[in-house]
Chains A and B, each alone.
Chain A
Amino acid sequence: MRIAMLLFFALGCTSLISAQIGDRDPFGGEKHNQVVALTAPVVAYVPTGKTAIAELRFRVQKGLHINSHTPHDHNLIPTGITLAPTAGVQVLDWAYPQGTDYALALQPNYKLSVYTGEFAVRLRVKVTAAGTQTIPATLRYQACDSNACMPPRSMPFTIEITAK
């Protein structure tokens, strides 16, 4: 009986130690070292010579927002993605989501158009040559919370498109 209790106690201690040592986020939540991050690698498969839609999904750090692609105030920096020109890949158009209206706590009348949480940008592409292409891309954004703003930033990432 005592041995069983001892084993049970040891097991409990092991769990506690494991929980303590476990890989925790220094900011207390999910791992967010960046204000904006891709939620998954961008990999798209398209039929050669035909158009296809690739979806880029991003997540904005909790408590922050970034301007939408079409901010209400023309002085604010819109979120935008640029792709490096790549032979055989033609970007036909982009579809950015509509922003959500957001008012600052101290100025409810000043409405911003922002992205918070997760948002997705779709691009329609046509790939003329078979094979896999890795396209360097950049997300430019400017983030704020309810009271302060950070300078504009650029986040490089890649899009991998395989045409068959």
Chain B
Amino acid sequence: MKRNLFVIVVVVVALASIVWAGITNYQRRRAERAQVLASQPVLVADESAEGGVRMSSALEGKTAPNFTLVDLDGHKVSLTDYKGKAVLVNFWATWCGPCKVEIPWLIEFRNHYRAEGFEVLGISEDDLDKDDKAKLKDEQASIAKFAAENRMDYPVLPDVEDAAGSFGGVESLPESFYIGRNGVIVASFIGLDQKAAMENKIQKALVSK
């Protein structure tokens, strides 16, 4: 009887140890992951060949943060200028291959839906030396050259004022925010989206009141 009790106690202790080890291990891995992500943002590897959903922004359903930037022609552009319109705010960079793939689609969508009140704003996340006017001018000229080469006829806005910061940081590109006529972000997408999925999001922005 005593021996049986001893065996039961040993088994219970062993099982409790396994559960404890599992919980501790899980907590440690969570803490390590949080630490790594905090110290060095790492793009999550996507091994699928599809252009599947990576993630969307936590800003969906909220009013889009306003920004005022200067376009390549020197005109001030604010998001609030487009009140009552559906706007696709597309964060991109000249060094971003997937961004380049999207550009012809953005041009096409803009031309197709412009009459319905749709606009695209392309915010460039290329490095800009705000404190060095000569360098800044060269960097803006490079963006302008790229925009001309790729026939970007929508407003292209070098992000001198860190608009990306107010949109959650934008740590990987491209990143798109679809803003309804009421100024609320109705959809978003991080990474290269499928063309049909982009169009669906534009239509969603257009029908929002």
Contact = CB atoms under 8 A, between A and B. Distances in A.
Nearest to A102: B97
Given A148-B54, A148-B174, A6 B10 contact: yes
B111 to A, nearest CB: 20
B119 interface: no
B97 A73 contact: yes
Contacts of A148: 43, 46, 54, 98, 172-175, 190-192
Contacts of A10: 10, 14
A146 to B, nearest CB: 6
Contacts of B192: 104, 106-107, 146-148
Interface stretch (A38-46, A60-68, A118-126): A60-68
A152 interface: yes
A142 B99 CA distance: 14
Contacts of B174: 148
A101 interface: no
A157 interface: no
A110 B101 contact: yes
A20 B25 contact: yes
Given A20-B22, A149-B95, A105 B10 contact: no
A77 B40 CA distance: 20
A56 B48 CA distance: 30
A84 interface: no
Given A6-B10, A61-B42, A75-B146, A149 B99 contact: yes
A145 B192 CA distance: 10
Given A20-B21, A21-B25, A26-B36, A105 B94 contact: no
Contacts of A63: 45-47
Given A26-B33, A33-B40, A150-B41, A13 B49 contact: no
B50 interface: yes
B163 to A, nearest CB: 15
Interface residues of A, number: 40
Interface in B70-107: 93-101
Contacts of B11: 9
Interface string A107-149: 1001010000000000000000000000000000011111111
A150 B98 contact: no
Contacts of A27: 33, 42
Contacts of A145: 43-46, 191
21 contacts: A2-B7, A6-B7, A9-B10, A10-B10, A17-B17, A17-B18, A21-B21, A24-B25, A26-B36, A27-B42, A33-B42, A34-B40, A76-B97, A106-B98, A106-B194, A107-B192, A146-B49, A146-B192, A149-B97, A149-B98, A150-B171
Given A149-B172, A151-B93, A151-B125, 11 more contacts: A2-B7, A9-B11, A17-B21, A27-B33, A33-B36, A33-B42, A35-B42, A73-B97, A146-B46, A148-B175, A149-B173
| Those 10 A-B pairs whose CB atoms lie nearest each other, nearest first | A63-B45, A147-B191, A148-B191, A26-B33, A13-B14, A20-B21, A148-B172, A147-B192, A107-B101, A26-B32
